[in-house]
A = this chain, B = another copy of it.
Amino acid sequence: MSPEAGNPALSAWRDGAAKRAILDFVTRVTTVGHPDFVRPFDRIAVFDNDGTLWVEQPLPVQACFVLDRIQALAPQHPEWRDRQPFKAVLEGDVGGIMAIGMDGLTEMVMATHAGMSTEAFAALVRDWIATSRHPRFNRAYTDLVYQPMLELLALLRANNFKTFIVSGGGIEFMRTFSDTVYGIPPEQVIGSSIVTRYVLQDGEPVLLREAELHFFNDKEGKPVAINTYIGRRPIAAFGNSDGDFAMLEWVTSGPGARFGLILHHDDAEREFAYDRDAGLARLARGLDEAPLRGWIVARIKTDWELVFPS
C-alpha cells in the first residue's frame, strides 16, 4: 500500500533513496496493525523554515526586510548616518555589512521590529513581502518556496499529520504568510520572539512590541520551544543546518518510528550550493552524523526534479 494512493503525489521528488524513505515512513506509521503504526494524535512533524521550506541565500529573507526597513526609516534617524551598523547599511558598504556581528544584528532587528503594535508590524511585513523581489531570481520571496517540500507538507497532512514550523526566524514575521504559502496556520508556527506588552492606547487595547528579546529559537532552543508550544515530541523533523541538529536529535531519539531529514543545498545552478562554510546556515555536524543517526540527507541536485513552483 502506497501513501501516495489517493494522496498528493511527490512529483517534484525524483525516485531515489530520500523519496523512498519518506514514503516508506509514512506507510509504516499509518498502516493499522504495523508495528510502527502511530495514532493520528501523535503524528506531529516539524519543519525548519529558512533553507528548508524557502530560499535563504544570498541573505535570509527576514534580513532583507531589516535592511529595507533601515533604508525606509533612515530619514527619521539622522543619527544613523554616523553610527554602525546602520552606517554600513545606509552606504551599501558590503564589507561593513558582512562584518556586522550578533550585537549589531540584534540592534538592527530591534530598531526595525519593535516600538509598534503587533498589528502594525504584521501590516509592514505583508506590504514588504507583497512588493519585494529576490535579487537573483527576481521573483517574490513567497514564490521561492520549495515545491518538493510543499508536496511533502501536503502528503503528511493528507495522512493526518499536523505540520509545524520551528524556525530561528521571527514568529510574527512568518505568521503573516505561513497559512497562505504553506497551509500552516499561525498557531502552528514557532519562531524567535521579542517581548510584547498589553497596554491601553486611548482606551483601545493593543499588544506593543518591545525592544527586548523574548526567546531565540535556534539550536538547543528548538526542542525547548517544541515542548513549550506543542507539548509532546514530534515523530518527524526536517532541517538544513546545524541550527536544526538538536531538534532532529530530540525528535529521532524518541521511542517508536522516527524520521529525520536534512536538506543539502548542493545545486548552485538551480538554487545555491553551501554547507560547511555557510556562517549561520552552516551544515557540518549534521552531514557528518546523519549516517550514524539514520537521518536522510536529501540533495537538491539529485533528489529534486523541480526546486521552485513553476
Contact = CB atoms under 8 A, between A and B. Distances in A.
A207 B250 CA distance: 9
A175 interface: yes
B198 A224 contact: yes
A223 B91 CA distance: 41
Contacts of A41: 179, 185
30 contacts: A41-B179, A162-B187, A171-B228, A171-B231, A175-B231, A186-B230, A186-B231, A186-B232, A187-B187, A187-B229, A187-B230, A187-B231, A187-B232, A189-B231, A193-B228, A196-B224, A196-B227, A196-B228, A197-B220, A198-B220, A198-B221, A198-B224, A198-B246, A205-B246, A205-B249, A205-B253, A207-B224, A207-B227, A214-B228, A229-B229
A172 interface: yes
Interface of A: 41, 118, 162, 171-172, 175, 179, 185-189, 193, 196-198, 204-205, 207, 214, 220-221, 223-224, 227-232, 246, 249-250, 253
B172 A231 contact: yes
Nearest to A162: B187
A250 B205 contact: yes
How many copies of this chain sit in the oligomeric assembly?
2
A156 to B, nearest CB: 16
Which of A205, A220, A246 has most B Cβ within 10 Å?
A205
A284 to B, nearest CB: 19
Contacts of A228: 171, 193, 196, 214
Contacts of A175: 231-232
A250 B188 CA distance: 21
| CB-CB nearest 6 A-B residue pairs | A186-B231, A198-B220, A175-B231, A187-B230, A198-B223, A205-B250
Given A205-B246, A205-B250, A229-B229, 12 more contacts: A41-B179, A171-B231, A175-B231, A175-B232, A186-B232, A187-B232, A189-B231, A196-B228, A198-B250, A205-B253, A207-B223, A214-B228
Contacts of A186: 230-232
A111 B41 CA distance: 32
A205 B223 contact: yes
A246 B214 CA distance: 21
